């Protein structure tokens, strides 16, 4: 029987606002004050560096990133550098993994959900166990995954699926620490525009299925945390 | 005493890296308070304390990567127990429990499973949860908290009877209180009720009651193999001990902690060391490396340096070394031979019309290559200043990310340590790396006479995919010519 869970779809949210709100939700999930919650959103352009990012994997200087209208943020998830920006569906599941957390199993499920989303729009994607966590179309990554566990049992951060992302942004980084791998998007694969709003309902369905959740809208006071426009 | 080990966050995870200690020796910790942060592949996590107490020992350095199960930290529960903290004594019972259940490898599983048992009465929404056959004492481990026991592996204390004994009277009360501590939100562990869509579909198609199928996956989850076994046995639900049809997956054995032999010392590989290793290995696997060396007579440079070093130091606040001169001579040669100042990009050779000179700098953490941006626009003084600045900040860990990337060519300078010839590995994606070794006085033949001169070997590892021996040698000959003929005095402003 699916567990009730909250779904938050706040649209485009500045990275710092979403990151702070996500951490607060995870604290509350940890304290069992809220149910499992999934946030599906977009960010303005931002490069985020996980704890394993290396100093030379940001290929553009901070000034150059700023000149292009982007930000650089060092954050607390696993993995290396990645990019978020318009046209990319970002998902932050805040899930309690229970008493015997299996982080690898969680990553595999995230991948399963994304592969399902891609299949629904007609893109054949797969895991690349030989390369890295994430979802791939051949040698190109279509969805980056990087997560953190709070107290080893509540998930933070998540996945970033390129729908119609401007992939030229990825030239600014060695994405995920892999210099020889490319990036792709659903739109690039299909040769037609598929935007985030097309993919959102599919993401909702596949995440619900893979994690056995039954989504309901989150209460207003939870959602408004993602709508503080000037808190950057 | 509770020993905290590197937890296993997934069956296929064999090691983890300590990102940061959040507690120091002597710090008091509450139960479930984060002790340290670890990183494994794509997942970082805080690891919370399974007990309340005092950190008595930290066994592993920050940045170390160690196998799952390695002892990381010791926590003494004595302080907390003495304070009469009921929760703490409950925890002591939990650790005593783990001790009773066997060795370190399985104790974490037992502790976790007992948490499952405790949470199942709370999670009414999970009817398919299988009762976990754990001793009732296990339920006490969740006493006072709807949060699940943390996954940090707990090593049995040396004398389990000691912590267990005072806790025993607490256990029944704790167990009784469990139903009251109803979690508002059930845990979502990888338990049997979490099923892959495939398993659900198979079960539905064959009209099987999943609650009757024993799961052999991680956390007791029902796998496709479990369902297939039932289907192939004609729909007969296998007994819970389904070992005959589907072998129970044993928890992955943690790798043994490395132990030093006699006369050996174990030093964990640092992040930097590992990054260097990957970088170097990738380079040797990518490039077709060849190597060429020229001998350079730097007699006049040695004399020049002797003559000007005091003035230069006084005027610019810097020690004058040979490296800035070599950089200047090399920059000129790179502009003359642009295929050496290039990179291979797929089917194209990308020639750089500027020189960003990487300078290999050794520092306490290993090796780093800060970059003199726009070295082609600098005179020797400018280069000397840039090198002094970058090297100082590299050694004090103050470099910005953009200062270690974008090199179009690299120079390494092992001479101060006495080497007279080196075969460096190319700093990808450069075409070449030049090594400037030690200047030594040697007898040389000049116009059919033997003379003593200060000589240096300058060599280059170069990528035969991009250039050939002729270009490499002409390039080095140009560097040699520059060093042997240029008058650096003017360029140095002295």
Is B256 a member of any domain? Answer: no
Distance CA B338, CA A152 (A): 53
Interface of B with A in 395-434 (CB under 8 A): 399-402, 404-406
Distance CA B381, CA B359 (A): 16
Phi, psi of B209 (to 5 degrees): -90, 110
Q: Look at chain B and report how many structural domains it folds into.
A: 3
β-strand pairing of B43-48 with A140-150: parallel
Told to judge if B464 belongs to the known catalytic residues of this protein, a careful annotator would answer yes
Task: Return the pLDDT at B115.
Answer: 33
Q: Taking Cα atoms as reference points, which of B488, B162, B174, B433 lies closest to residue B302?
A: B488
Assess whether B170 and B203 both reside in one domain.
Answer: no
CB contact under 8 A, B39 and A98: no
Assess whether B345 and B205 both reside in one domain.
Answer: no
Task: Return the pLDDT at B493.
Answer: 78
Assess whether B28 and B80 both reside in one domain.
Answer: yes
pLDDT above 70 (res B199) = no
β-strand pairing of A213-217 with B43-48: unpaired
Assess whether B207 and B317 both reside in one domain.
Answer: no
β-strand pairing of A37-42 with A46-49: unpaired
Percentage of chain B with pLDDT > 90?
A: 39
Distance CA B438, CA A82 (A): 43
Q: List all residues 6 or more positions away from A204 whose beta carbon is below 8 Å from its beta carbon.
A: A7, A38, A40, A215
Average pLDDT on A69-88 reads 90
Task: Return the pLDDT at B223.
Answer: 67
Length in residues, chain A: 232
Is B251 a member of any domain? Answer: no
CATH of domain A3-226: 3.30.930.10
Q: Can you say how many angstroms the Cα of residue B383 is from the centroid of all Cα atoms in its chain?
A: 34
Residues of chain A contacting B184 with CB distance shorter than 8 Å:
32-33
Is B307 a member of any domain? Answer: yes
pLDDT above 80 (res B149) = no
Assess whether B203 and B91 both reside in one domain.
Answer: no
Look at B173 and A133; give whichever has higher pLDDT: A133
Q: Name which of A56, A101, A212 is nearest B405 (Cβ-Cβ).
A: A56
Least confident window among A167-171, A216-220, B101-105, B311-315: B101-105
Is B192 a member of any domain? Answer: no
Assess whether B169 and B201 both reside in one domain.
Answer: no
In the three-class reduction of DSSP (H, G, I as helix; E, B as strand; rest coil), residue A73 is classed as: strand
Distance CA B72, CA B53 (A): 16
pTM score, whole prediction: 0.48
Assess whether B159 and B206 both reside in one domain.
Answer: no
Instruction: Decide if B491 contacts B480 (C-beta within 8 A).
Output: no
Q: List all residues 6 or more positions away from A161 whose beta carbon is below 8 Å from its beta carbon.
A: A88, A89, A90, A91, A114, A117, A118, A135, A142, A143, A186, A199, A203
Q: Name which of A29, A99, A102 is nearest B119 (Cβ-Cβ).
A: A99
Instruction: Decide if A179 contacts A88 (C-beta within 8 A).
Output: no
A191-208 pLDDT tens trace: 999 999 999 999 999 999
| CA angle B279–B282–B288, rounded 5-degree value | 125
CB contact under 8 A, A105 and B10: yes
Catalytic one of B44, B61, B397, B464: B464
Percentage of chain A with pLDDT > 70?
A: 96
In the three-class reduction of DSSP (H, G, I as helix; E, B as strand; rest coil), residue B201 is classed as: helix
Is B136 a member of any domain? Answer: yes
Least confident window among A62-71, A135-144, B126-135, B212-221: B126-135
Assess whether B280 and B364 both reside in one domain.
Answer: yes
> Domain boundary residue among B177, B210, B225?
B177
Mean pLDDT of chain B: 74
> Domain boundary residue among B177, B209, B224?
B177
Assess whether B58 and B203 both reside in one domain.
Answer: no
pLDDT above 60 (res B160) = no
pLDDT above 90 (res B123) = no
Is B253 a member of any domain? Answer: no
Look at A227 and B388; give whichever has higher pLDDT: B388
Residues of chain B contacting A98 with CB distance shorter than 8 Å:
115-116, 119, 148, 187-191, 219
Could you tell me the CATH number of the domain that includes residue B229?
4.10.320.10
Distance CA A90, CA A77 (A): 14
Interface of B with A in 21-60 (CB under 8 A): 32, 34, 37, 39-48
Assess whether B229 and B301 both reside in one domain.
Answer: no
Residues of chain B contacting A146 with CB distance shorter than 8 Å:
42
Assess whether B58 and B122 both reside in one domain.
Answer: yes
Quick count: other Cβ atoms within 10 Å of Cβ B317?
A: 9
Look at A157 and A177; give whichever has higher pLDDT: A157
Task: Return the pLDDT at B78.
Answer: 66
Assess whether B12 and B157 both reside in one domain.
Answer: yes
Could you tell me the CATH number of the domain that includes residue B378?
3.30.559.10
pLDDT above 60 (res B131) = no
In the three-class reduction of DSSP (H, G, I as helix; E, B as strand; rest coil), residue A138 is classed as: coil
B116 touches chain A (CB under 8 A): yes
* Domain boundaries, position B234: 197-244
Task: Return the pLDDT at A70.
Answer: 94
Helix axes A196-211, A103-121, angle to 10 degrees: 140
B344 touches chain A (CB under 8 A): no
Rg (chain A; Cα; Å): 16
Distance CA A149, CA A133 (A): 16
Interface of B with A in 458-477 (CB under 8 A): none
> Domain boundary residue among B145, B177, B209?
B177
Nearest CA in chain B to A72: B401
Task: Return the pLDDT at B172.
Answer: 38
CB contact under 8 A, A103 and B399: no
Quick count: other Cβ atoms within 10 Å of Cβ A198?
A: 16
β-strand pairing of A3-12 with A213-217: parallel
B413-426 pLDDT tens trace: 998 888 999 999 99
Distance CA A195, CA A217 (A): 22
Task: Return the pLDDT at A1.
Answer: 78
Distance CA A84, CA A87 (A): 9
Instruction: Decide if B454 contacts B343 (C-beta within 8 A).
Output: no
Is B252 a member of any domain? Answer: no
Look at B477 and B15; give whichever has higher pLDDT: B477
Model ipTM value: 0.78
Distance CA B392, CA A141 (A): 39
Could you tell me the CATH number of the domain that includes residue B154?
2.40.50.100
pLDDT above 80 (res B138) = no
The pLDDT confidence band at residue B279, using thresholds 50, 70 and 90, is: confident
User: Per the omega criterion (within 30 degrees of 0), is the bond before B429 cis?
Assistant: yes
Is B309 a member of any domain? Answer: yes
């Amino acid at each position: 029987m699916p567990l009730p869970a909250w779904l938050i779809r706040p649209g485009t949210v500045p990275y710092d606002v979403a990151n702070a709100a996500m951490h607060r939700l995870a604290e509350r999930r940890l304290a069992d004050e809220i149910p499992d919650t999934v946030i599906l959103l977009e960010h303005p352009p931002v490069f985020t560096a996980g704890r394993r990012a290396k100093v030379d994997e940001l290929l553009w200087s901070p000034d150059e990133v700023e000149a292009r209208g982007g930000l650089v943020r060092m954050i607390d998830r696993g993995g290396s550098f990645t990019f978020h920006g318009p046209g990319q569906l970002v998902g932050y599941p805040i899930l309690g993994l229970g008493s015997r957390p299996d982080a690898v199993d969680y990553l595999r499920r995230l991948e399963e959900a994304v592969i399902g989303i891609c299949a629904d729009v007609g893109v054949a994607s797969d895991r690349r166990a030989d390369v890295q966590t994430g979802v791939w179309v051949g040698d190109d990554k279509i969805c980056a995954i990087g997560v953190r566990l709070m107290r080893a049992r509540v998930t933070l951060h998540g996945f970033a699926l390129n729908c119609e992302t401007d992939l030229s942004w990825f030239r600014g980084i060695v994405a995920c620490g892999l210099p020889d791998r490319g990036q792709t998007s659903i739109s690039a694969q299909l040769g037609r525009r598929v935007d985030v709003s097309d993919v959102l309902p599919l993401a909702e369905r596949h995440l619900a299925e893979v994690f056995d959740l039954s989504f309901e809208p989150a209460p207003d006071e939870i959602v408004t945390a993602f709508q503080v426009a000037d808190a950057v | 005493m509770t020993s905290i080990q590197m937890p296993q966050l997934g069956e296929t995870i064999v090691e983890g890296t300590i990102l940061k200690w959040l507690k120091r020796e002597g710090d008091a910790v509450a139960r479930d308070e984060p002790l340290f942060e670890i990183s494994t592949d794509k997942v970082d996590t805080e690891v919370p304390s399974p007990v309340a107490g005092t950190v008595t020992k930290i066994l592993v350095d920050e940045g170390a990567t160690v196998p799952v199960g390695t002892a990381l930290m010791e926590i003494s529960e004595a302080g907390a127990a003495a304070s009469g903290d009921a929760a703490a004594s409950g925890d002591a019972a939990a650790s005593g429990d783990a001790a009773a259940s066997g060795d370190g490898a399985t104790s974490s599983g037992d502790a976790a499973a007992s948490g499952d048992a405790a949470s199942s009465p709370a999670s009414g929404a999970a009817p398919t949860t299988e009762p976990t056959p754990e001793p009732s004492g296990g339920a006490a481990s969740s006493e006072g908290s709807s949060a699940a026991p943390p996954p940090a592996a707990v090593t049995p204390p040396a004398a389990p009877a000691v912590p267990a004994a005072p806790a025993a009277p607490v256990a029944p009360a704790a167990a009784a209180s469990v139903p009251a501590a109803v979690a508002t939100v059930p845990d979502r562990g990888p338990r049997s009720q979490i099923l892959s869509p495939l398993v659900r579909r198979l079960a539905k198609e064959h009209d099987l009651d999943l609650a009757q199928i024993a799961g052999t996956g991680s956390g007791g989850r029902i796998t496709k193999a479990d369902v297939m076994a039932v289907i192939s046995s004609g729909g007969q639900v296998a007994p819970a001990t389904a070992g005959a049809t589907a072998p129970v997956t044993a928890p992955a054995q943690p790798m043994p902690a490395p132990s030093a032999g006699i006369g050996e010392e174990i030093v964990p590989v640092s992040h930097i060391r590992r990054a260097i290793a990957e970088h170097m290995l990738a380079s040797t696997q990518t490039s077709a490396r060849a190597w060429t060396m020229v001998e350079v007579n730097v007699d006049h440079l040695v004399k020049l340096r002797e003559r000007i070093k005091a003035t230069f130091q006084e005027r610019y606040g810097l020690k004058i070394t040979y490296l800035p001169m070599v950089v200047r001579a090399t920059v000129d040669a790179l502009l003359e031979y642009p295929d050496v100042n290039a990179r291979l990009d797929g089917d194209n050779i990308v020639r750089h019309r500027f020189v960003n000179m990487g300078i290999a700098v050794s520092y306490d953490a290993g090796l780093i290559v800060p970059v003199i941006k726009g070295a082609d626009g600098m005179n020797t003084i400018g280069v000397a200043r840039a090198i002094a600045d970058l090297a100082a900040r590299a050694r004090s860990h103050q470099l910005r990310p953009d200062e270690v990337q974008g090199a179009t060519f690299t120079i390494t300078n092992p001479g101060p340590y006495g080497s007279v010839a080196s075969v460096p590995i190319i700093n990808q994606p450069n075409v070449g790396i030049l090594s400037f070794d030690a200047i030594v006085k040697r007898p040389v033949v000049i116009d059919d006479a033997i003379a003593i001169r200060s000589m240096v070997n300058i060599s280059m590892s170069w990528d035969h995919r991009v250039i050939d021996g002729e270009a490499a040698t002409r390039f080095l000959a140009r560097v040699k010519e520059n060093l042997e003929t240029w008058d650096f005095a003017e360029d140095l402003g002295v």
